[in-house]
Amino acid sequence: MASRKTGISAGTAVLVLVIILAVCGGAGYFAIANAKKGWAAQEAAMPESAISTYLNHIKSGDYDAVYEDSLTVNPSLNSKDDYVAKMKEIYDGVDTDKIIYAVDAKATDTEYKLYYDNKYIANLKLIQDGSGKWLASTLFTGNNTYTIEVPAGLKITANGQSVDDSYKTATGTAASNFSGLSDTSAAPLVDTYTLTNLLGKPKIEVEGQSGYGTLDDVLLGSNTIYVGKTSTDSDLANAFINDAQIIASYPAQDGSLGQVAAVSMTNSDWYSRISTLQNTWFTSHSTSQFSNVAASNIIQQSDDSAVGYVTFDYYAANSEVNHTWHGGFQITFLKSGGAWKIAGMAVDSELNPARQ
C-alpha cells in the first residue's frame, strides 16, 4: 500500500510565517521600547540631563516649568512674575544652543556655571527628586535676604505664599526698633522671619487678617520690614508731626534740649546721642519755619507702640543767606505715663518727596 504524505497547505504555511514574524516583530518592538525606557531612565539619572531640560525650557519660553522646578530645587518665596522677569533678563539675546557649562568645584552642592559668548551668565543648582530624576534651578546672587518682624503669634504670607515656621529665626523677642532702650521690657514682642534668595522686596501680609500694614526700616543695609496694625489715629499722627519739629529745631538752635527730653525716652541710646550733639555750628538766623510737614506709614506693633515716617521742609534765613532743608525721620514711639515718647530715631532725608 502506497505511503501517504502529510503536511500543511501553502495558505496555512504563509499564515504561520506571518504569525511567527509578528511575534518576533512584537518581541523586537517591546525589546526596543524597553531599551529606550532604560536609556531614558539612565539619562534622567545623570545630572547633565537637568541642564538639558532647563535649557530646552528656556529655548521654548516655558518659564512656568522653570519656575515650578525652582520651587523644588531651591525653594524661595519669589513671586512667579519676579522670577520670570529675572530669567528673561538673564537670557535676553542668548542662544541656548551655544551655552557651555562646567561644574562649580567650589560649591558645597551640585552646581554648574553657565557661559555664553565667553561670559558667565548664571549658576545652576541641581538636585535629585524622590524618583531619582535630576532637576535644575537658577541661583540668583546679591543682597536678597529680608528680615520680617511681625507681632508675636501672627502668621504671614510673602508674595501670596504662606511663610511657615521653617523661616522663623526668633520668637517672642523685643522688636529691633526698640533695641536702643536700656530696658526693653515694655517693647512690643515680635516673631522674626528671615527670607532668603529673594529677587526683591517681598509683599508681606498677615495671613487671614486685614488692617495690617508694613514699614521698611530706613537704616542702610537693614532690609528689615516691620509689620503692625495700620493706624488711623489723628492724635498719634499729630504726635509724630509735633515731635519731629521739636527734634529738627534743636540742631538749628530753635529749640532746647529740655524740649527734646520732654518728648523722649531718656533711657535710650537715641537720647544719649542727641543730648551730646553739638549745635553751635548752625548759622544764626532771624527767620525760620516749617512747611509741608506730614506723617505717613504709621503702624502699631502693639497698642502702646508705633513706628512711622515724618517728612518736612525747614527754611532758615538771615540778612545774608537763606536755605531750605528737606528732611525725613523714622520715629519709634512707646507710650509711657500715658504719653507718646520717642524710643528710637533714624534720619533719612530720601523719604522726603522733594529729595526724589
What's residue 239's pLDDT?
98
Per-residue pLDDT of the chain (356 residues; tens, 9 = 90+): 444 444 455 555 545 554 555 555 555 544 434 433 443 444 445 788 999 999 999 999 999 999 999 989 987 788 888 889 999 999 999 999 999 999 998 888 899 999 999 999 999 999 998 888 999 999 876 557 899 999 999 999 999 999 999 999 999 999 999 999 999 999 999 999 999 878 889 999 999 999 999 999 999 778 999 999 999 999 999 999 999 999 999 988 888 999 999 999 999 999 999 998 877 666 777 788 999 999 999 999 999 999 999 999 999 888 777 889 999 999 999 999 999 999 999 999 999 999 87
Helix segments in the chain, DSSP class H: 10-44, 47-60, 63-73, 80-90, 234-249, 257-262, 269-275
Please give the grid coordinates belonging to residue 261.
Answer: 527730653
Please give the grid coordinates belonging to residue 30.
Answer: 517591546
Report the alpha-carbon angle 268-270-273, nearest 5: 115
What's residue 203's pLDDT?
94
Residue tagged 529680608 (cell numbers):
146
Strand partners, 174: 189
Closest CA to 350 of 295, 309, 291: 309
Please give the grid coordinates belonging to residue 58.
Answer: 528656556
What's residue 342's pLDDT?
98
DSSP 38-86: HHHHHHHTSHHHHHHHHHHHHHHT-HHHHHHHHHHHS-----HHHHHHH
Please give the grid coordinates belonging to residue 271.
Answer: 537720647
Closest CA to 290 of 327, 330, 320, 322: 327
Residue 162 to residue 145: CA distance in whole angstroms? 17
Q: For residues 205 and 228, is the Cβ–Cβ distance under 8 A?
A: no
Question: Which DSSP state fits 338?
Answer: T
